[in-house]
Amino acid sequence: MKNLLRLLALVAVCSSLAIAATTPAAPAVDKSKFKTGGCCDKAEKGGKPCAHPCCVKAAKDSKVCEKCNPVAKDAPAPAKDAPATK
């Protein structure tokens, strides 16, 4: 009877460890994409996640809200017929 209880306890511990090991952790959000002075940046400096619904939704997908943190546009490429600069 004593051995049966030990075996049952061992099975319970192993099962809980297996479940914990297979539960995926949420990947971190790339905080370098936060707009300087934006809502996410201010919240991060305050030690809290941004509470805006759009930012919360994006963070669940491990993304940064594009509405509050727009991607910077690259400078337009020079026209093909433009003279070369020296």
In the predicted model, is pLDDT for residue 11 greater than 70?
A: yes
| Beta-carbon contacts of residue 63 (< 8 Å; ≥ 6 apart) | 29
Domain boundaries in the chain?
2-60
Q: Which two tokens stand for residue 75?
A: 């400078």
Q: What is the pLDDT of residue 32?
A: 82
Of 13-17, 54-58, 72-76, least confident by mean pLDDT is 72-76
* pTM of structure: 0.52
Q: Which two tokens stand for residue 78?
A: 């020079």
In the predicted model, is pLDDT for residue 6 greater than 70?
A: yes
Q: What is the pLDDT of residue 76?
A: 62
In the predicted model, is pLDDT for residue 17 greater than 90?
A: no
Identity of the residue numbered 59: A
pLDDT digits (tens, 9 = 90+) for 18-69: 776 665 555 677 788 888 889 999 998 998 889 999 999 998 988 899 999 8
Region of 47 (left: φ > 0; alpha: ψ -120 to 50; beta: rest) is left
